[in-house]
A and B are shown apart, each in its own frame.
Chain A
Amino acid sequence: MNASLPGIPVSASEVGDLFEPLFWYIVAVTAGGTLLVGALLTVFCVQYRRQNTTGSTPRILGSHRLELFWTITPLMIFLTFYAWGVYIYDRAVQVPNDIPEIFVIGKQWMWKAQYPNGQRVIIGGNPANMSEEDQKHIGALVLPLGKPVKVTFISEDVIHDFGVPAFRQKIDVIPGRYVSTWYHPTKLGEFHVFCDQYCGTWHSLMVGKIHVVPPAEFEQFLEGKGGAHGSENPVDGSPAFKGWQHFQRLQCQKCHVPNAGAGTREHPQAPTLEGLFGRTVPLKGGTSVVADDQYLRESVVNPRAKVVEGWEPIMPGNYRDQVTEEELRDLVAYIKWLKPGQMIPPNDKAPSLNGAPRETKPESGSAGGGK
């Protein structure tokens, strides 16, 4: 028993601050009602116990006025709860327009988040159910203090529920359907996230953290500089991030899988790009080359020029037609940024690939580079 609970749990959002007065109003009224019933029971039981009475009782059958009184009075009181509750519910579920949207995926047994600029983080879960890649990115859902954000949820498998006690809110996360809520954090700090809908064996480990930080720190987090929160992904605005988006669009990861050649995949079709930059690459024909910017660019636009030792020259040579020079620069920046373990495998279930709200829509039919 290392920590004790405060009397009133911290309330860290606008809805939380709305919740408390209503909660205590209902507590006061219902406690009053219960105590009234309890007091009447006590008084009657003492006053009219057999020792105190003759054993004979009056024949009282009822009273229409009393019945009306205790039908209408509770109903009126209940309706005050109802009306106040509807007001808060309305505040809690009607998402304001034009606020940034974070996308959260629940799956057995972890929560993953993606920010509008592509920043990704694992909110929490059971590490045993995560890939090594994901385990490195366990952090928290980082939210800016005082700025409302919309959060859209979907589940990959069963029904989960994203509950944040400090925000006094929860929402079922359903497979096959987007549901949205919004949070307006009002206090700095770290708060629990619980899965509140039973979802299987490790339900109780499908927990995470929400980290409310000052807006400046939030910006840093978005840019991938706030490593403490579990994410060092390339982010919006940086060439590497844009390059990553082009990398996805062009389906480069279909062949350039992570760990290729390391014996982890059976049929890699192309060398891995992780940690490539700066390395000395052996080439067909016995020469070698240091992987600098120029080499990287050349390998995209003219892949047959320098073929890596041990690989067949199967990469199509038409990428030059599909990327502008600027985009090419971004691609190179991304490849330079790639260190071992950072690449996302093609079967990755990261939010951006299936249905996340993204900044740049993939152009249809752009899955260039057919083999």
Chain B
Amino acid sequence: MSIIVADEPRVGPVPPEPAPLKTNYLNARSGILSWLLTVDHKRIGILYLVSLTAFFVVGGLAAGLVRINLLSPTGAIMTEDQYNRMFTAHGVVMLFLFLIPSIPAVFGNFFVPMMIGAKDLAFPKLNLASWYVYMIGAGFMVWSVLAGGIDTGWTLYPPYSSRYSQSNVFPGAFGAFITGFSSIMTGLNIMVTVHKMRCPGMTWGRLPLFIWAMYATSFIQLLGTPVVAITLTLLCVERLAGIGIFDPAIGGDPVLYQHLFWFYSHPAVYIMIVPGMGVISETITCFSRKNIFGYKAVAWSSVGIAVVGFLVWAHHMFVAGISYYSAILFSFLTMLVAVPSAIKVFNWTATLYRGSITFQAPMLFTLAFLVLFTVGGVTGLFLATLGTDIHLHDTYFVVAHFHFVMVGGMVLAYLAALHYWWPKMTGRMYSDFWSRASATIIFVGFFFTFVPQFVLGYHGMPRRYPNYPAEFQVYNVLSTAGASILGFGYLLPGFYLTLSLFFGDKATANPWSATGLEWQTPSPPSTFNFDRTPVVVCGPYEYAIGVDQLGRGLPEPPGPGSADDPASHHGPTGPAGPMHKETHVVG
């Protein structure tokens, strides 16, 4: 096995810690209007963060009620109708209002310009508009919930949703239609920004992998979202005007809806997970002090997922009446799309090899992501395989698989990103102990919640069932017990992150000793991010040499805190310090 060792970048001295700014983006202007009319990408990121957190709480409460109801085989607290509305609220809120915007809208907005050395996104006003569009769409969904809710499930399959449901399908579907435009705006903005606003020296090969992931995500958002928009429009037309599009009783085709819906909604799960993969590439390198293993493989696998992800939608429909040959074709294509994810996992794992690993909260969330995402990924293979899918389809196996990827993967990546960039965003450090405790509790609670659901699914328990045969109760109780641990784990960051805003230690400019451009500004950064346009001289993850993308040495990384931590004895890492760097390795 040969290991590629590239030329070392030239290393400058470690920069002095910059004095905290008197005016940063947070206190440059004040008043509610300064937030509502801001065009600063960082403030818009914070607006998104606050709104998304609120919707995450709402969706989480709905999930909690669903799980409590499942304690009893005949429904513990709700009627069937209430239960149907509750799981639909959970799905719609979590998917359309949390997962799809999540990392692109919060961290993409905040950090894409900073990581490529730009002052802002390409279209700052469009960026603000995207938040308003998102909030208007969310308003429609809140309307539908306040008016009694929707009982169709988040997939809104007609003809039930278009002709039979007595619930508020229109405002919900129309809300999803509107938030889609917000997603398109964000995607367009990020794509143009990455193309046109990279600072000198920031070549495509030097882009942080988070940027690659965001770029791939934007591609999906731009190509896929219009399809779901037209699909939801057609649904509303059939529901409101009775024009036959999907209901065969009036001349439509119900399977057509599923094709259109999944043509967007399968790529949409990549809209959700690919940004998370970008975050993991940032954190795992930083906390293991290593270059990413296989930069090109990780970068291009994101693009590969974005492209191949558009060719697999019908694997949601293997038992839905598609033709024999299309089932066989789509199963094959689905096997292909599993490969880039596997490549990423192996590269991340290999990155840890011979690293110098510390376990602060972002790293714990990252490791939890790796385990849970791997389980989520491989269980997807059961569903991609035709012979097993005809049993497991639409059971709790699918529910568990989806949550492993979307919660175990995406939400943990979101939390990793939040904990990683929190010092930069707020200028404060949070509790080390409680953040690690939270990561551990969430990981454990997650396992207890969703592993029993795999068993339930294998035994055939269908999804969306408030009533179920009594023999399934044990596993449902286990799952609910796990969910309460998980819920507690989610509450913790709400407390210690909020407390950190008021009582946390002031964060240094580069508390994790990371290489990215976003860390080469004070914490929190000024409104225009950089005093002068940065000039990038090397790739994004030169931790081994100890040099940031500006070619300067890195400050001392945070150790595990013990007295025998070599890093705390020997000064800064990198050739500027006393340590010998083993840069030439043949393994």
Contact = CB atoms under 8 A, between A and B. Distances in A.
B349 A159 contact: no
A57 B5 contact: no
Contacts of A90: 324
Contacts of A86: 328, 331, 386-387
6 closest cross-chain pairs (CB), A and B:
A165-B460, A176-B248, A88-B387, A85-B385, A59-B544, A89-B386
B2 interface: yes
Interface residues of B, number: 124
Given A60-B353, A177-B321, A23 B382 contact: yes
Given A34-B374, A75-B335, A196-B393, A54 B254 contact: no
Interface in B374-393: 374-375, 378-379, 381-382, 384-391, 393
28 contacts: A38-B374, A48-B355, A49-B356, A50-B559, A51-B560, A51-B565, A55-B559, A55-B570, A57-B354, A58-B585, A60-B291, A61-B5, A74-B339, A74-B342, A75-B335, A75-B336, A85-B331, A157-B164, A158-B163, A165-B391, A172-B319, A176-B248, A198-B157, A198-B160, A200-B151, A201-B80, A201-B151, A204-B468
Interface stretch (B274-282, B470-478, B502-510): B470-478
Nearest to B458: A9
B143 interface: no
Interface in B72-106: 80-81, 84
A170 B385 contact: no
B566 A55 contact: yes
Interface of B: 1-6, 8, 80-81, 84, 151-153, 155, 157, 159-160, 163-165, 247-249, 254-255, 288-291, 293-297, 318-321, 324, 327-328, 331-332, 335-336, 338-339, 342-343, 345-347, 349-350, 352-359, 367, 370-371, 374-375, 378-379, 381-382, 384-391, 393-395, 455, 458-475, 477, 542-545, 557, 559-560, 562, 564-567, 570, 573, 579-585, 587
B544 A48 contact: no
Nearest to B353: A44
A202 interface: yes
Interface stretch (A65-73, A252-260, A278-286): A65-73
Interface in A250-275: none
Contact of A196 (B151, B288, B394): B394
A84 B387 contact: yes
A70 B562 contact: no
Contacts of A307: none
A205 B471 CA distance: 16
Interface in A164-179: 165-166, 168-172, 174-177, 179
A203 B84 contact: yes
Contacts of A71: 339, 342-343
Contacts of A159: 157, 159-160, 254, 320
Contact of A54 (B249, B321, B356): B356
Contact of B3 (A63, A75, A163, A174): A63
Contact of B394 (A33, A78, A163): A163
Question: What is the size category of the interface that chain A forms with chain B?
Answer: 35 or more
A16 B321 CA distance: 20
Interface string A2-21: 11110001000001001100
A93 B388 contact: no
Given A56-B579, A67-B343, A44 B560 contact: no
Contacts of A65: 1-2
Interface of A: 1-5, 9, 15, 18-19, 22-23, 26, 30, 33-34, 37-38, 40-41, 44-45, 48-51, 53-67, 70-71, 74-75, 78-79, 81-82, 84-90, 92-94, 108, 157-159, 161, 163, 165-166, 168-172, 174-177, 179, 192, 194-205
B251 to A, nearest CB: 9
